[in-house]
Amino acid sequence: MDTAFLTRWIAGIADAVRAERDRLTELDAAIGDADHGANLDRGFGAAVQALADDPPAAPGALLRLVGGTLISRVGGASGPLYGTAFREAGRSLGSSGEASEVSLADLARALRAGLDGVTRLGSAAEGDKTMVDAFAPAVRALETAVSAGAGEREAFEAAASAALAGAEATVPMVARKGRASYLGPRSAGHEDPGAASCALIFAALCTADQGHG
């Protein structure tokens, strides 16, 4: 995968977030503060713009630029968390003399690093009803696909459906991190907005891949 693929990915995320903006906001209204849709729309819109303004030459630099843009434009909890995810993913792809192509295995490693960044910063574990509940199974699915020697399309579809299943699995959970935790038991019965947006991010990998093929 090259910077063109990753640029398509980010654009696809921005499109999906814009399309699902109201749903994300409504999920956040139920157990948070009703800004998740606006937050990510602002952030990924800015990221698309940043990539257009000054297209990075290498995949690592590209993801770092996306991460930095999210951090500097989103705010809230999701800004630093997703920002760190992309920044750490970019860092894992190397910081100097970077390759212009990354393999599926590279990407899996990068996203693992991104996930680690999120859990380091937010200290959420799976089951806490956060984006991690979609992020972690998606990364695992990607890693499994790599081990099994799967192709990109197959790997991305596995990751996307794992993320989606992870997001849906947050519905019955009682939140232990983020704003939803203030509700205690009342947080059960609602999908976590960050997990829902994370599923969109992984779904966008498939779209970017199709655009590629």
Partner 1 sequence: VKKLINSAETVVTDALRGLSAAHPGLRVDPDGRTVSRSGGPTPGKVGLVSGGGSGHEPLHAGFVGYGMLDAACPGEIFTSPVPGQMVTATAAADGGAGVLYVVKNYTGDVLNFELAADLCAEEGVEIASVLVDDDVAVRDSLHTAGRRGTGATVFVEKIAGAAAEGGASLAEVTRVAEEVNARSRSFGVALSACTTPASGRPTFELGETEIELGIGIHGEPGRSRSTMRDARELAAIALDAVDEDMPLSGDALVMVNGMGATPLIELYVVFAEVAEQLAGRGVRVARSLVGDYVTSLDMRGFSVTVCLLDEDLTRLWDAPVETPALRWGR
Ligand X SMILES: Nc1ncnc2c1ncn2[C@@H]1O[C@H](COP(=O)(O)OP(=O)(O)O)[C@@H](O)[C@H]1O
Q: Residue numbers of the site for ligand X (CB under 6 A)?
A: 28, 32-33, 35-36, 39, 76-78, 81, 118, 122, 124, 130-132, 177-179, 192-195
Q: Does 35 bind partner 1 (CB under 8 A)?
A: yes
Closer CB to partner 1, 151 or 184, in the complex: 184
Closer CB to ligand X, 91 or 179, in the complex: 179
Element spanning 172, H or E: none
Report the candidate in 13, 11, 12, 7 with the shortest Cα–Cα distance to residue 100: 7
Contact of 101 with 1, CB cutoff 8 Å: yes
Residues contacting residue 54 through CB under 8 Å, at least 6 positions apart: 65
Query: Helix, strand, coil % (nearest 5) of the chain?
Result: 75, 0, 25
Least separation, in Å, of the C-beta of 110 and partner 1? 21
Q: Where along the sequence are the contacts to Mg ion (CB under 5 A)? A: 28, 32-33, 35-36, 76
The token duo for 94 is: 């190397």
Closer CB to partner 1, 128 or 157, in the complex: 128
Least separation, in Å, of the C-beta of 122 and ligand X? 3
One residue of 64, 73, 109, 190 binding partner 1 per CB under 8 A: 73
Q: How far apart are CA 103 and CA 136, in angstroms?
A: 20
Least separation, in Å, of the C-beta of 99 and Mg ion? 37
Contact of 92 with 69, CB cutoff 8 Å: no
The token duo for 199 is: 């599923």
Find the part of the chain contacting partner 1 (CB under 8 A) among 7-15, 24-32, 154-162, 164-172: 24-32
Contact of 92 with 109, CB cutoff 8 Å: yes
The footprint of partner 1 (CB under 8 A) covers 25, 29, 31-35, 38-39, 42, 71-81, 121-122, 174, 176-179, 181-184, 186
